[in-house]
Amino acid sequence: MASSIVLFGPPGAGKGTQAGNIVNLTGKPQISTGDMLRAALTAGTSLGMEAKVYMDAGQLVPDDVIIGLIKERLTQQDAVDGVLFDGFPRTIPQAEALSEIAELSIVIAIEVPDNRIVERICGRYTCGGCDAVFHDTFNPTATEGVCDLCGSTQMKRRADDNEATVLTRLAAYHAQTAPLADWYRQRDLFISVNGDQDIEKVGAEISAVL
């Protein structure tokens, strides 16, 4: 069984950027449960239809359905040398189920203090014209309210990019992930990376680990 990698971290930690780097370094395809669910729904597979019942009812898709989707995904040709799990597993039961169908070589956690996560997320805004992303502190537009790339003045912020919502999401993340981190530490798979530094430095730490 080929070895796979798990990548997780709080919202706003930079998982998306670093996942792309890991894919380039290892050649392992990046997979997320959201992507698999959408693909299964589009393809109309039996597991996709089963998941649709829960989603249409506004319920979480059960772990056994998710694990079934992952098991199917691991049979595809591009997964023969393992995959990069992005944001999965989230709980110990999911980790236990995953261990039955996939061999892991390492679990990488990008760690960023909560106050920095709040600063990162709450300062984000995007251009309504070209979807370019800016930030009040780290990447402001040269002229306030005007996109540097397309000149649009249609700047917008996501409604859930506010401190109260971000703190709620962080609380849920810590409740789920703290025990999961310990579970993987006991199996000598867990490595934490300092995500509170330049993107290039985070990438260099992950590259050194890999």
Active site amino acids: 15, 90, 124, 158, 169
Give the integer Cα–Cα distance in Å for 71 and 157. Answer: 37
For 61, residues 6+ apart whose C-beta sits below 8 A from its C-beta are 33, 37, 51, 54, 55
Structure tokens at 41: 């729904």
For 145, residues 6+ apart whose C-beta sits below 8 A from its C-beta are 153, 155
Amino acid making up residue 100 = E
Tell me the C-alpha to C-alpha distance, in Å, between residue 25 and each of 30, 163, 207: 12, 35, 8
Structure tokens at 87: 């944001």
